[in-house]
Chain A
Amino acid sequence: MSLSILAQTPLLTEQIPTPVVSWPALLPLIVMALGGLLLLTFASLFGRRVGTPFFTWWTVMTGLIAFGTAVPLWAQVQGWDRRVLWWNPEQTPAGAFSTVGGAFGIDGFSVLLTMLIALAVAVCALVMAGTSERDGERHVEGPALLILSATGAMVMVGANDLIVLFLGLEVLSLAVYVLAAMNLRRVQSQEAGLKYFVLGAFSSAFFLYGIALVYGGTGSTSLVNITGFLADNLLLGSSSVLVLLGIALMVAGLAFKVAAVPFHSWSPDVYDGAPTSSVAFMASVVKIAAFAGMVRVLVVGFDTFAADWRPILQVLAVLSLVGGALVALVQTNVKRLLAYSSISHAGFILLGVEAASDTGTRAVLVYLVAYTFLVIGSFAVVSIVGRSGDGMHSLDSYRGLGRVSPALAGTFTILLLAQAGVPFTSGFYAKFYAVIAAVDAQSAWLAVVAMLSAVIAAYLYLRLVVTMWFVAPGDQTPAPGLPIPATTGVALVVCVAVTLFIGITPGPLTSVVDEAPPVVVEPPVEQVADAPGLDGLPPGLLDALGGGGAGGQDPLTVDPGGAGTPAGGAP
């Protein structure tokens, strides 16, 4: 027997097939992952000498370089006819494509969101630098975890395979759990980290179980294969139940990450307890990635099941819109208030996903771009008013802020008005497109609910504005001359500039977003031929699992004799 094994050992001369990897397509990811690794390495070698400014500079540069490496990809997807950096239209075919055996997709949607995440990381790093400089913290782990977490987010926005999506989600979440618990001096921070971790692990398990059921129903985890399978086969009976259950569980998992009611209960506690600079990241990048995953899975992958998942999202959207706005009214802690307001924002973005259309996806993208800068800016202000120790977050701390620190109060006012959806700010267009998408998708009642909740939410933003400008300073109001750290100042200027720019001239953003629909592209054919079996498994094994599902065979019926099918599919 041992001899026969030896005889079958492949000779070294045999060509080992490798997947075709388009390295430029993965460059933003590689930049981020390497950036995180090198930052940790440098910090452990020269950490004492270089200190926080270097970590911040490095993180910002990593984000900006990742942004830069995504530009040629955008040119390639859009098929520009001039050279952009290393992209040459004469050498590489234009258009959306997928790489590494179809695991990773490059389309307008993923490139645009990759750029957004890269910018968000840079801005969040600036905010974080401001607080750590003030509190005398010299840790490298914060910036390093920001970068690693954003790497996971970038994996998620490009994922064309449910397993890749899940792993991206885990990288993203694991780093964010730690970011939430980063402030070792505050016990609330530890509590927030633990809460987020336990509930997050639950939601990841839901998501993973959903993937397993979808695999059982369709025989694949790759969105390319799933869409192909669903187009060719009408699922009936038990296998359609499997897929429906799988979709429901995946929605639950992602709804947790975006903090949609009723999966929101963690977010006020975590936003309140976690360091404010981490919350800025949590509220922006985590939502970008989770909504990207939602659009990719539901709108692109399971559009044939839209009639089944749309009602779920409608319920989530209504509950988030109304629940978030109503509960926010009675909050006296500004961080909790912003947490509930971000739940309400999630409801608006869900309107776009729920529409299950190109208009809807456009609304999601516009909202994500606008919301990212709004929320980072808002939490940057909160991090400054929170002062050393990050503890002054009650509404009383904002009394009369307009008199003692007009610049800060003015910035916050612009950001809050934008969150309320006032015209000439980015928030107006974000809400506008979300409502348009709902009306287009024949759910006008949702649009009415959304507008009503926007009115309720406007009250709470205005209450905060009134507290800052028209109430006399109290004993918790920061003393005059509240210092704004230079880095946080830069971040605030960027956020306000983007908010006003989009609000006054939305044309550039909408034209970019119009060219960024998510698509699923099959990998080049010769690449598939190299891959073993349907989904990497030997055909015999697939038959035995009943997961092949080929030819409309009900995947649940397992034929014991099928286990004996000669597994000759090995390459």
Chain B
Amino acid sequence: MSILAVTEVLVAQNIAFAIIAVGVVVAGVRLVTTENVVHAALWLVVVLAGIAGLYILLAAEFTAIVQVLVYIGAIVVLFLFGIMLTRARLGEGETVNKKMRAPALVIAVAMFALMAYSLWGYFGSTELEVMGRSTAELGQTTAQVADTLFLTYLIPFEVVSVLLLAALTGAIVLARRD
């Protein structure tokens, strides 16, 4: 059985997956090889956006949106602010410190080995029955998340907003100098 030809939907999905995966890998390699910190942050955006695309292919649209909002919208912007506020000249003659390359490589390879081992050991060649099912059979994940959030976890949801208010007030108190 060819990888590409389980059903017609999967052909399109697999092609899209291949394109996005190649893009993510290329961006990932550029992310760690580029000399410019700002460029690295922007390559990170490409990697994260590609992963969001993969989530959409897996019909996990809510996770995809959260990925864009949190990682691209908040964390990368925070990175850029950090770079902007700590470096005097943005992207001029600043080179990335490469001293930590060897340990970073070891950690990366170890992480990859661990994930590959556990995924392969767990799933092996079993095909999940989820493949090829329509959204009608699987249910809509976003709708399920919404139902859970506003039924089972309504109180926690509301309490989180009080938590944010307390955090915001606290941050203002501590940051204010008067």
Q: Spell out A's residues near B (CB within 8 Å).
A: 1, 4-5, 7-10, 17-19, 21, 33, 36-37, 40, 100-101, 103-104, 139, 141, 144-145, 148-149, 151-152, 155, 161, 163-164, 167-168, 170-171, 174-175, 177-178, 181-182, 184, 193, 530-532, 535-538, 560-561, 563-564, 566-571
Evaluate contact between A163 and B148: CB separation under 8 angstroms.
no
Question: Are A171 and B166 in contact (CB-based, < 8 A)?
Answer: yes
The residue on A at minimum CB distance from B172 is: A141
| Residue of A141, A151, A531 touching B173 (CB-CB under 8 A) | A141
| 21 interchain pairs, CB-CB under 8 A | A1-B12, A4-B135, A7-B136, A9-B140, A40-B165, A100-B155, A103-B154, A141-B169, A144-B169, A148-B166, A151-B162, A152-B162, A164-B155, A164-B156, A167-B156, A167-B159, A181-B173, A532-B147, A532-B148, A536-B147, A566-B133
Question: Judging by beta carbons under 8 Å apart, are B162 and A103 in contact?
Answer: no
Known A-B contacts A145-B166, A178-B174; the reply to A569 vs B139 at CB < 8 A is yes
Q: Do A19 and B160 touch across chains, with their CB atoms under 8 A apart?
A: no
**Nearest chain A CB to B169 CB, angstrom units:** 6
B167 touches A174 (CB 8 A): yes
Structural contact, B153 and A568, CB atoms closer than 8 A: no
> A163 to chain B: which residues have CB within 8 Å?
153, 156
The reply to whether A178 and B169 contact each other, CB–CB distance below 8 Å, is yes
Among residues of A, the one whose C-beta sits closest to the C-beta of B177 is A184
8 Å CB interface, B142-156 against A: 143-144, 147-148, 150-156
Q: Which residues of A contact B169 (CB under 8 A)?
A: 40, 141, 144-145, 148, 175, 178
Q: Is the interface of B mostly helix, strand, loop or mixed?
A: helix
Cβ-defined partner of A532 (8 Å) among B144, B163, B165, B173: B144
Residues on B with C-beta less than 8 A from A1 are: 9, 12
Q: Given A161-B156, A164-B156, A532-B148, list of 9 further CB < 8 A pairs?
A: A8-B136, A100-B154, A103-B155, A141-B169, A152-B163, A155-B155, A163-B156, A167-B163, A563-B129
Q: Which of B122, B123, B137, B150 contacts A566 (CB 8 A)?
A: B137
Which chain B residue shows the least CB distance to A174? B166
Q: B106: CB under 8 A from chain A?
A: no
Closest to A193 in B: B174
Contacts of A568 in B (CB 8 A): 137, 139
CA distance in complex: A9, B136 (Å): 10
Query: Which one of B129, B139, B162 contacts A570 once the chains associate, using CB atoms below 8 Å?
Result: B139
Selected contact of B140 from candidates A8, A36, A40, A103, CB within 8 Å = A8
Q: Binary interface profile of B, 114-134, with partner A (CB < 8 Å = 1, else 0)? A: 000000001100101110011
Q: Which residue of B lies closest to A532 (CB)?
A: B147
B170 at interface by CB-CB < 8 Å: yes
Inside 8 A of A569's CB, which chain B residues have their CB? Answer: 139
The residues of B with any CB-CB pair to A shorter than 8 Å are 9, 12, 122-123, 126, 128-130, 133-140, 143-144, 147-148, 150-156, 159-160, 162-163, 165-167, 169-170, 172-174, 176-177
Chain A residues whose C-beta falls within 8 Å of the C-beta of B174 in the assembled complex:
178, 181, 184, 193
| A567 and B139 within 8 A (CB) | yes
A168 vs B158: C-alpha distance when bound (angstroms): 11
Q: How far is the CA of A33 from the CA of B163 in the complex (A)?
A: 10
Q: How far is the CA of A163 from the CA of B172 in the complex (A)?
A: 27
B residues within 8 A CB of A184? 174, 176-177
* Cβ B166 vs Cβ A103 within 8 A: no
Question: How far is A563 from B156 in the complex, measured between Cα atoms in Å?
Answer: 28
Bound-state CA distance A168–B130 (Å) is 38
On whether the beta carbons of B170 and A178 are closer than 8 Å, the reply is yes
Decide: A5 and B135 in contact? CB cutoff 8 A. Answer: yes
A530 to B148, CA, bound (A): 11
- Please list the 4 inter-chain residue pairs (A to B) with the smallest Cβ-Cβ separation, ordered nearest first: A564-B129, A178-B170, A536-B152, A570-B139
A149 touches B163 (CB 8 A): no
Chain A residue contacts of B144, Cβ below 8 A = 532, 537-538, 570
Across the interface, do A538 and B162 meet the contact criterion of CB distance under 8 Å?
A: no
Of B122, B152, B170, B176, which contacts A103 at CB under 8 A?
B152
B residues in contact with A170, CB < 8 Å: 163
Instruction: Give the shortest distance, in Å, between B74 (CB) and chain A (any CB).
Output: 19
Asked if B170 and A537 sit within 8 Å, CB to CB, the answer is no
- Enumerate chain A residues within 8 angstroms of B166, measured Cβ to Cβ: 145, 148-149, 152, 171, 174-175, 178
Q: How far is the CA of A568 from the CA of B133 in the complex (A)?
A: 12
Contact A101 to B159, CB < 8 A, known contacts A1-B9, A560-B122, A563-B128: no
The residues of A that contact B176 with a CB separation of less than 8 Å are 184
State whether B126 touches A560 (Cβ < 8 A).
yes
Give the residues in chain A near B163, CB-CB below 8 Å: 152, 167, 170-171, 174
Contacts A8-B136, A532-B144: A19 and B170 contacting too (C-beta < 8 A)?
no
Q: In the complex, what residues of A have CB within 8 A of residue B140's CB?
A: 8-9, 570
**What is the CB-to-nearest-CB distance from A507 to chain B, in angstroms, rounded to a whole number?**
36
Question: Known: A148-B165, A535-B152. Is A177-B135 also a contact (CB below 8 A)?
Answer: no
User: Which of B123, B138, B159 has its CB near the most chain A CB atoms (within 10 A)?
Assistant: B159
Contacts of B129 in A (CB 8 A): 561, 563-564
B130 partner residues in chain A, CB cutoff 8 A: 563-564
- For B170, give its contact among A17, A139, A174, A566 (CB under 8 Å): A174
Q: A155-B159, A570-B140, A571-B147 given as contacts; is B128 within 8 A of A4 (CB)?
A: no
B131 to chain A, nearest CB (A): 9
Q: Which residues of chain B are within 8 angstroms of A101 by Cβ–Cβ distance?
A: 151-152, 154
- A8-B140, A164-B156 in contact; A178/B173 too (CB < 8 A)? yes
Q: How far is the CA of A166 from the CA of B129 in the complex (A)?
A: 36
- Please state if B151 and A19 are interface contacts (CB–CB under 8 Å): yes
How many Å from the CB of B149 to the closest CB on chain A? 8
Q: By the criterion CB–CB under 8 Å, are A570 and B170 in contact?
A: no
Residues of B within 8 A of A4 (CB): 134-136
Q: Shortest beta-carbon distance, B113 to chain A, in Å? A: 21
Please measure, in the bound complex, the distance between the C-alpha atom of A536 and the C-alpha atom of B176, giving whole angstroms: 42
Give Cα A299–Cα B126 distance, bound, in whole angstroms: 45
Q: Are A536 and B128 in contact (CB under 8 A)?
A: no
Q: Give every chain B residue within 8 A of A182 (Cβ-Cβ).
A: 173
Chain B residues with CB under 8 Å of A103's CB are 152-156
A182 to B135, CA, bound (A): 53
Which residue on chain B has the smallest CB distance to residue A166?
A: B156
Residue with the highest number of chain A CB atoms closer than 10 Å, among B12, B130, B144, B166? B166
